[in-house]
A and B are shown apart, each in its own frame.
Chain A
Amino acid sequence: MSPRDLSCEEVIERLFDYLDRELDHQQTADIERHLSRCRDCFTRAEFEKRLRARVAASGTVKAPPRLYRRIGSLLDRFDDDEPDRSH
């Protein structure tokens, strides 16, 4: 497929597909070409990227010490119960 000039509406419509990496190589290139030329769409894309990065960061939270202890103790119990798995 050859490169295609997209309208702003088409870019905004596919923006989340683009950010979620759901587009094929050609579609991605078409969007990126438009973003490199259109300040309004670039600004919108950057805004959504920043928000997306903040959402992604919400998936990292300091695990409580008691969870470490609980897992350590569960693994200890399996170690004690199971025969040596070495080959």
Chain B
Amino acid sequence: MTRTSQLTRSSTAWLAPLRRVEPGDVMTFRDATHRRQWFEQRLEPLMDRLYGTALRLTRNPDDAEDIVAEAVVRAWTRLDKLRDPERFDAWLFHILTNTFISEWRRRQSRPRAAADSDTAAPDDLDADGFTLFQQLHQPFLLWWGSLEDQFFNSLLQEELQEALDALPDPYRVAIVLVEVQGYTYEEVSGLLGIPLGTVRSRLNRARSLLQKRLWQQAKEVGMAAGHTDKGGQKP
């Protein structure tokens, strides 16, 4: 590792590879320093993804930091239970997800929060089946390039994040778990404790809502000026 860890308090060089464990065995470390170095060496490259994922799930920088810090501490205290060191990344992200879900459920159990999180803005209620592609696609190639290319070239990451963050909780969480974290529908069903059909319907709704918001943003910046909405969708 060439760069200095932002986490360690000592700058001792990496000492030795972890002893590979047999099935049923637990990971062992030569000493506490070795354990800490092993953990930090794997944690540091994941920090931006951990924070970004937590930010998309919570929508709030302070909450995201809380979730990441809690997940990292949980992982640190349970490190001896990690069976396969190669699975450290997936294991840590799983802890992060469960940490978020526990907190989310706790907040949802508050009557006002639950009501807020499940309510879509009135404008969103007619978004079912909306596809951005239908709005942008031209069956012929324009001389300056396709509208799809123009859309992607002008779409700022901040705008996309804003559109994601604007999704009501159940839809945002579903799309982040699948498209950002790569969970299968069955895993999402297990994590959230909802039927598989509900996972599918939330994902469909999330995608329609997201694409409709992106289309509205594109129109606001004049990208689709003079371009009429297709498919009978409201502008």
Seen from chain A, the residues whose Cβ lies within 8 Å of a Cβ on chain B are 16, 20-22, 43-44, 47-48, 50-52, 54-68, 70-72, 74-76, 78-79, 84-87
Contact = CB atoms under 8 A, between A and B. Distances in A.
Given A54-B160, A59-B176, 12 more contacts: A16-B204, A20-B184, A20-B185, A54-B155, A55-B210, A59-B180, A59-B181, A60-B49, A61-B55, A66-B65, A78-B76, A86-B32
Interface string B66-86: 001100110011001000000
Sorted nearest first, the 4 A-B pairs with minimum C-beta distance are: A59-B180, A61-B52, A63-B51, A68-B6
Nearest to B70: A74
Interface residues of B, number: 57
A86 B51 contact: no
Contact of B6 (A58, A60, A72): A72
Contacts, number: 125
Contacts of A52: 179
Contacts of B160: 54-55, 58
Contacts of A58: 52, 56, 157, 160-161, 164, 180
Contacts of A16: 203-204, 207
Given A67-B47, A67-B51, A55 B9 contact: no
B148 interface: yes
Contacts of B72: 71, 74-75
A70 B73 contact: no
A86 B35 CA distance: 8
A76 to B, nearest CB: 6
Nearest to B32: A84
Contacts of B39: 75
B184 A22 contact: yes
Interface string B23-60: 00000111110111001100100011111110110000
A71 B176 contact: no
B7 interface: yes
Interface of B: 6-9, 28-32, 34-36, 39-40, 43, 47-53, 55-56, 61, 65, 68-69, 72-73, 76-77, 80, 132-133, 136-137, 148, 152, 155, 157, 160-161, 164, 175-176, 178-181, 184-185, 203-204, 207, 210-211
A74 B80 CA distance: 18
Given A50-B152, A55-B160, A59-B181, A79 B32 contact: yes
A7 B33 CA distance: 60
Among A44, A47, A52, chain B packs the most CB atoms within 10 A around the CB of: A47
Contacts of A47: 132-133, 136-137, 148
B9 A72 contact: yes
A29 to B, nearest CB: 19
Given A22-B185, A47-B148, A61-B48, A84 B31 contact: yes
Nearest to B132: A51
A45 to B, nearest CB: 10
Nearest to A54: B160
A3 B53 CA distance: 38
